[in-house]
Amino acid sequence: MEPQAFYKTIYKIAKVVNSSLEPKVVLGQIVEQVATTMNAKGCFIRLLNRTGEILKPDAYYGLSERYAQKGPVEVAKSKLDQEALAGNAVYIADVRTDPRFQYPQQATEEGLVSIVVVPLTAQGNKVIGVLRVYAGETRSFTEEELEFLSCIANLCGIALENARMFHALKRASELANDYIYQVFED
């Protein structure tokens, strides 16, 4: 993979992050850009639920709806995600046979073979989810590709944090306006 392709994709994704505060829009464009740039079968972003026990699907590209909705990814049952949520990039050469992967049968049906998972961080080093890239053949990932994915995962975290802060400020403003309106109406 040419380094220029990574730089161009990072630039495109940074523009997307700066252009929208809607996480679905931003993350949807990110997974498409990552899968396309890496010539991958698919890309998936999963975010932790409030309890930190389930990784919920948030955005994906190149994968079927059936695969995306195959079932919950329970952190306690997924050694792969436990390693990623601990802050490590994780590579599996063949998800069909690796015991760390929670859904090998569904991966086989989807035509998935290799996977790399990087932690998605926000607010410094707080891990809030994972970014996964799938290959339809046995494939290794270079150090440059892993650095590229870590950079993208950090941009995802920035996008999500920006959206969270924007919606919190918007809600606080609405509450303040409602309070003012009630006080002066009474």
Q: What is the DSSP annotation of the chain?
A: --HHHHHHHHHHHHHHHHH---HHHHHHHHHHHHHHHTT-SEEEEEEE-TTSSEEEEEEEESS-HHHHTS--EEGGG-HHHHHHHTT--EEES-TTT-TT-S-HHHHHHHT--EEEEEEEEETTTEEEEEEEEEESS-----HHHHHHHHHHHHHHHHHHHHHHHHHHHHHHHHHHHHHHHHHHH-
Give the confidence band of 78 by pLDDT, cuts at 50, 70, 90: very high
**CA nearest neighbour of 116 among 75, 83, 146:** 146
pLDDT at 181: 72
pLDDT at 73 > cutoff 70:
yes
Is residue 129 pLDDT above 90, yes or no? Answer: yes
Q: Which pLDDT value is given to residue 51?
A: 96
pLDDT tens-digit readout, 38-71: 999 999 999 999 999 999 999 999 999 999 999 8
A 10 A CB-CB count for 33 gives 19
132 — pLDDT class (breaks 50, 70, 90): very high
Return the pLDDT at 94: 96
CA gap 118, 134 in Å, rounded: 12
Q: What is the pLDDT of residues 6-44, one digit of tens each?
A: 999 999 999 998 888 888 999 999 999 999 999 999 999
Tell if the pTM clears 0.85, that is, is over it.
yes
Contact between residue 144 and residue 5 where contact means Cβ atoms under 8 Å apart:
no
Q: What is the dihedral of CA 67, 71, 75, 76, to 10 degrees?
A: -130
Beta pairing, strands 90-92 & 114-122: antiparallel
pLDDT, tens digit, 9 for 90 and up, residues 140-185:
999 999 999 999 999 999 998 888 888 888 888 888 888 777 777 7
Q: What is the pLDDT of residue 151?
A: 94
Q: What mean pLDDT do residues 112-125 have?
A: 92
Q: What angle do CA 113, 142, 104 make, to 5 degrees?
A: 15
Query: Is residue 186 predicted with pLDDT exceeding 80?
Result: no
Q: Go through the chain and tell me how many residues it has.
A: 186
pLDDT for 119 beyond 90? yes
With beta carbons less than 8 A apart as the criterion, state whether 27 and 159 touch.
yes
